[in-house]
C-alpha cells in the first residue's frame, strides 16, 4: 500500500445525522480529511406514523445537503440502511475507517443506539453545543447553571443567557428597555386583523422526486402534496429574511393570537429548518437584532423572538438532557386515557378550535405555539390523556419534532406531567380560547355554558380537572384564587359539571392510528 492509499484507508468516517445539516459543525471534516456518511434509516422511517411532509422534509434536506457537500469537494456516501448504526458500520467496512466522528445525537435513544452499537471502529462524540455545535450552550454549561436549583425557572435562565451573550443588553449591564421580558405586552388577539401571507418554498426537482417517492410508499400520516418547507440553507435563509421583513414587527403583539383558517400568522415558521441545522440560532438572532437597531421592529417583538430562541429553545434542550430518561415516564396527574381519534382526524370533532388546529397539523405538519399549548395540549391535559400517547402524536405529526424538543414541551410545558419547571399547569377553560380567537362564534358548542350537551367541552373538563387534582393543585399559591372559585361551586353545579366531563371523557372517538414504538433506536 503506497502512502496515498494508506492515508485514504485511515481517514475517519464523519457521521452526519439528518439533524446535522450545517457545514460549519465540528463533525464536518476539512475537505479530504475524512469521508462523510449520511444514512436514511429504515428503522427510523417506520418508528412512528410520521407525517408525510416530515418524511419529505428530512429526506429532501439530507439529499440536498449531501449534494452540497459533494459540490464543495467532500467524499460523501448517503446510504439507505436498516438503522443509522448499520449504515455507519457498512460505510466503515467499505472505507476501512479507523474512527467514527459525530456530534452527540440530540435524542438520547439515538445516542445510546450509536454508543451501544459495534460500528466497526471507535466512536468519538463531540458536544452538540458551544463552538462547533448547533446549540449556544454545551450540555455541561446548562447542567452547571441548573445545579443546586430546586426548581428550574425559564425567566432566570433567560436573564442569565442575556447577560452571558450580551444580547439586548445596555453597556451598563441592564436589559434594553429596562426589563428582560415584554411578554405582558404580547397578548393581543388579532380579531379583524389580516395576517401577512406565509412564504412557501416551491419544491425543486429533487424535492418533487422525494414527494413522489413518499406518496407512492403509502406510509405515514397526512399528505406530501403541497409541501412548502425549506430544505436547503439557501431556502431557509430566504424564509428567515421574509419573516424579518414581513412578520417580525407583528410577532410580539400577536404572539398568542389564534385565527380560524390561519396557520402561520406572524410566526417565523423556522423551527423545522432550525432543528435540522439548516439555520443556526445565530442565523436567526442576528438579523432580528439588526432589524431592531434599524428601527424596523419594536422591542416587544424583538425581545419576544429572542426569548424564544435564546431562552425557551436552549432551556428545553437543557431540561431534556437533565431529566432523561425519567422525563419520558413523567405522569404527575396519573393521566391514562388513550389519545382521542380527533387528534388524527379533524373531521372527528365538532370543537372548532381543535378541528382548526388539527386540520393545520394534518395539512402542514405545523400548528403555532398557542395552538400546541392552549388548544391541543390543554385539551389533553384537561381530559387526562396519557402523556406518552400525546407525546408520540406530537413527535409523529409535526415537521419540527424530535424527542429532545417535543418531550419537554409536551410532558413539561403542556401537560405539566413533569414538575421540573412547571408547577402551575397551563390549564384554561373555553374563556381563554374565546378571548384570544375567533373560533367560538362559529362553534357548535356554547363557550358560556359549563355543563350539559351544548357546553364548550373545555369548560366542564377544566373544572373537573381542578376538582380531580384539588389536593395537588391547592398547595400552589398561584392556584389559590381559582381553587377558591371552584370551592364556591354549589353541590348541584359541581355534580352537573363533573357528569358532563365524565361523559366527554368516556365518549372520545377512538384513534385510527396503530403503531409500535420502542424508544428511539434510529
Q: What is the dihedral of CA 59, 65, 68, 74, to 10 degrees?
A: -110
What end-to-end distance do the CA atoms of the chain give, in Å?
36
What span, in angstroms and rounded, lies between the C-alpha atoms of 142 and 314? 9
Q: Which range in 102-110, 349-357, 402-410, 439-447 contacts ligand FAD by CB under 6 A?
A: 402-410
How near is the Cβ of 292 to ligand FAD at its closest, in Å?
Answer: 16
For the chain, helix (H) and strand (E) counts, in that order, are 25, 5
- Separation between Cα atoms, residue 94 and residue 91, nearest integer Å: 5
| Residue closer to ligand FAD (CB basis): 455 or 465 | 465
In the set 168, 351, 416, 473, which binds ligand SF4 (CB under 6 A)? Answer: 351
313 touches, from ligand FAD, ligand SF4, none (C-beta below 5 to 8 Å by class): ligand FAD
456 binds, among ligand FAD, ligand SF4, none (CB under 5 to 8 A by kind): ligand SF4
Establish if 250 lies at the interface with ligand FAD (CB under 6 A).
Answer: no
By beta-carbon proximity to ligand FAD, the closer residue of 378 and 511 is 378
Query: Which H or E run includes 275?
Result: helix 271-275
Is residue 333 near ligand FAD by the rule CB under 6 A?
no
* 409 near ligand FAD, judged by CB under 6 A: yes
136 or 447: CB nearest ligand SF4:
447
CB of 57 to ligand FAD, least distance (A): 12
How many other CB atoms are found less than 10 A from the CB of residue 32? 12
Whether 353 contacts 340, CB under 8 Å: no
Q: Minimal distance in Å, beta carbon 473 to ligand SF4?
A: 21
Q: Does 312 bind ligand FAD (CB under 6 A)?
A: yes
Residue from 257, 297, 413, 456 touching ligand FAD (CB under 6 A): that is 413
What distance in Å separates the CA atoms of residue 465 and residue 336, rounded to the nearest whole number?
13
* Options 59-67, 144-152, 211-219, 408-416: segment touching ligand FAD (CB under 6 A): 408-416
Q: Residue 316's closest CA among 250, 357, 362, 373? A: 373
**Cell 449520511 belongs to residue:** 38
Q: How far is the CB of 470 from ligand SF4 (least distance, A)?
A: 23
Residue 89 binds to ligand SF4 (criterion: CB under 6 A): no
Asked if residue 268 binds ligand FAD (CB under 6 A), the reply is yes
| Three-state secondary structure of 356-415 | HHHHHHHHHCCCCHHHHHHHHHHHHHHHCECHHHHHHHHHHHCCCCCHHHHHHHHHHHHC
The yes or no reply on residue 434 touching ligand SF4 (CB under 6 A) is: yes
Residues 6+ apart with CB under 8 A from 319: 152, 327, 408, 412, 420, 421
Does position 92 interact with ligand FAD (CB under 6 A)? The reply is no
CA atoms of 145 and 117, how far apart (whole Å): 32
**What whole-number distance in Å separates Cα of residue 395 and Cα of residue 83?**
19
* Binding residues for ligand SF4, total number by CB under 6 A: 14
Does an H or E element contain 401, and which? none
Is residue 265 a contact point for ligand FAD (CB under 6 A)? no
Angle at 381 between CA 411 and CA 393, to 5 degrees: 60
291 lies in the site for ligand FAD, by CB under 6 A: no
**Minimum CB separation from ligand FAD for residue 373, in Å?**
4
DSSP conformation class of 254:
T
Q: Is 366 helix (H, G, I), strand (E, B) or coil?
A: coil
Asked if 19 interacts with ligand FAD (CB under 6 A), we say: no
Which span sits near ligand SF4 by CB under 6 A: 154-162, 266-274, 430-438, 482-490?
Answer: 430-438
In sequence order, what are the beta bridge partners of 124?
A: 101
Under the binding rule (CB under 6 A), the answer on residue 265 touching ligand SF4 is no
Q: Least Å distance between CB 367 and ligand FAD?
A: 7
Size of the site for ligand FAD (CB under 6 A): 27
By three-state DSSP, how is residue 21 classified? coil
d(CA 353, CA 371): 8
Helix (H/G/I), strand (E/B), else coil: 149: coil
- Which CB atom, from 283 or from 406, has the smaller least distance to ligand FAD? 406
Q: Is 461 in the site for ligand SF4 (CB under 6 A)?
A: no
Please report, as residue ranges, which positions from 166 to 195 form the binding site for ligand FAD (by CB under 6 A): none
- What distance lies between CA 108 and its chain's CA centroid? 16
Gap between the Cα atoms of 334 and 323, Å rounded: 18
Q: How many CB atoms lie within 10 A of CB 388?
A: 19
Q: Which does 434 bind (CB under 5 to 8 A by kind): ligand SF4, ligand FAD, none?
A: ligand SF4
Q: By CB under 6 A, is residue 458 in contact with ligand SF4? A: yes
Give me the least distance between CB of 123 and ligand FAD, in Å please: 27
Beta carbon nearer to ligand FAD, 13 or 417? 417
Asked whether position 162 contacts ligand FAD by CB under 6 A, the answer is no
- Signed CA dihedral, 348, 354, 356, 357: sign only: negative
Which of 445, 462, 463, 465 touches ligand SF4 (CB under 6 A)? 445
State yes or no: residue 240 binds ligand FAD (CB under 6 A): no
CB-neighbour burial class of residue 30 (10 A; exposed 0-12, middle 13-18, buried 19+): exposed
Tell me whether strands 100-103 and 13-15 are parallel, antiparallel or unpaired.
parallel
Task: Give the interface with ligand FAD as residue ranges (CB under 6 A).
Answer: 267-271, 274-275, 308-309, 312-313, 316, 368-369, 372-373, 377, 394, 398, 400-401, 405-406, 409-410, 413-414
Task: Give the interface with ligand SF4 as residue ranges (CB under 6 A).
Answer: 351-353, 430, 433-434, 439-440, 443, 445, 447, 456-458
Amino acid at each position: 500500500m503506497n502512502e496515498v492509499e494508506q492515508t485514504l484507508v485511515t481517514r475517519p468516517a464523519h457521521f452526519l445525522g439528518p439533524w446535522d445539516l450545517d457545514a460549519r459543525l465540528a463533525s464536518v471534516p476539512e475537505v479530504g480529511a475524512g469521508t462523510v456518511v449520511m444514512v436514511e434509516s429504515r428503522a427510523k422511517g417506520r418508528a412512528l406514523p410520521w407525517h408525510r411532509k416530515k418524511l419529505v422534509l428530512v429526506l429532501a434536506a439530507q439529499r440536498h445537503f449531501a449534494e452540497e457537500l459533494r459540490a464543495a469537494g467532500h467524499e460523501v456516501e448517503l446510504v439507505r440502511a436498516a438503522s443509522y448504526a448499520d449504515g455507519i458500520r457498512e460505510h466503515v467496512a467499505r472505507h476501512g475507517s479507523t474512527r467514527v466522528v459525530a456530534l452527540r445525537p440530540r435524542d438520547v435513544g439515538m445516542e445510546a443506539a450509536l454508543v451501544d452499537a459495534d460500528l466497526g471502529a471507535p466512536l468519538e462524540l463531540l458536544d452538540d453545543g458551544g463552538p462547533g455545535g448547533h446549540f449556544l450552550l454545551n450540555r455541561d454549561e446548562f447542567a452547571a447553571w441548573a445545579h443546586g436549583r430546586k426548581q428550574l425557572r425559564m425567566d432566570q435562565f433567560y436573564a442569565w443567557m442575556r447577560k452571558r451573550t450580551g444580547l439586548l443588553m445596555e453597556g451598563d449591564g441592564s436589559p434594553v428597555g429596562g426589563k428582560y421580558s415584554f411578554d405582558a405586552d404580547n397578548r393581543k388577539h388579532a380579531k379583524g386583523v389580516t395576517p401577512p401571507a406565509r412564504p412557501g418554498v416551491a419544491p425543486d426537482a429533487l424535492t418533487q422526486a422525494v414527494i413522489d417517492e413518499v406518496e407512492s410508499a403509502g406510509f405515514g400520516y397526512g399528505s406530501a402534496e403541497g409541501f412548502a418547507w425549506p430544505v436547503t440553507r439557501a431556502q431557509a435563509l430566504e424564509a428567515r429574511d421574509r419573516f424579518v421583513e414581513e412578520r417580525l414587527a407583528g410577532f410580539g403583539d400577536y404572539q398568542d393570537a389564534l385565527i380560524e383558517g390561519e396557520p402561520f400568522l406572524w410566526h417565523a415558521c423556522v423551527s423545522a429548518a432550525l432543528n435540522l441545522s439548516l439555520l443556526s440560532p445565530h442565523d436567526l438572532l442576528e438579523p432580528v437584532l439588526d432589524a431592531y437597531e434599524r428601527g424596523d421592529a419594536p422591542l416587544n417583538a424583538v425581545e419576544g423572538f429572542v426569548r424564544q430562541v435564546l431562552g425557551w429553545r436552549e432551556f428545553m434542550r437543557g431540561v431534556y438532557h437533565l431529566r432523561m430518561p425519567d422525563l419520558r415516564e413523567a405522569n404527575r396527574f396519573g393521566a391514562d386515557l388513550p389519545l382521542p381519534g380527533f387528534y388524527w382526524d379533524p373531521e372527528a370533532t365538532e370543537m372548532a378550535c381543535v378541528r382548526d388546529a388539527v386540520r393545520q397539523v394534518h395539512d402542514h405538519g405545523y400548528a403555532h405555539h398557542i395552538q400546541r399549548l392552549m388548544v391541543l395540549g390543554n385539551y389533553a391535559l384537561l381530559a387526562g390523556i396519557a402523556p406518552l400517547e400525546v407525546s408520540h402524536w406530537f413527535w409523529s405529526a409535526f415537521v419540527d419534532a424530535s424527542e429532545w424538543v417535543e418531550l419537554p414541551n409536551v410532558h413539561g410545558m403542556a401537560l405539566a406531567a413533569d414538575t421540573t419547571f412547571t408547577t402551575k399547569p397551563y390549564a384554561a377553560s373555553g374563556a381563554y380560547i374565546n378571548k384570544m380567537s375567533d373560533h367560538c362564534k362559529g362553534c357548535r358548542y356554547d363557550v358560556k355554558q359549563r355543563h350539559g350537551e351544548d357546553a364548550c367541552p373545555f369548560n366542564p373538563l377544566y373544572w373537573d380537572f381542578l376538582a380531580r387534582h384539588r389536593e395537588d393543585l391547592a398547595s400552589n399559591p398561584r392556584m389559590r384564587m381559582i381553587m377558591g372559585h371552584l370551592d364556591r361551586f354549589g353541590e348541584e353545579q359541581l355534580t352537573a359539571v363533573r357528569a358532563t366531563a365524565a361523559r366527554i371523557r368516556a365518549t372520545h372517538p377512538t384513534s385510527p392510528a396503530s403503531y409500535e414504538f420502542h424508544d428511539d433506536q434510529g
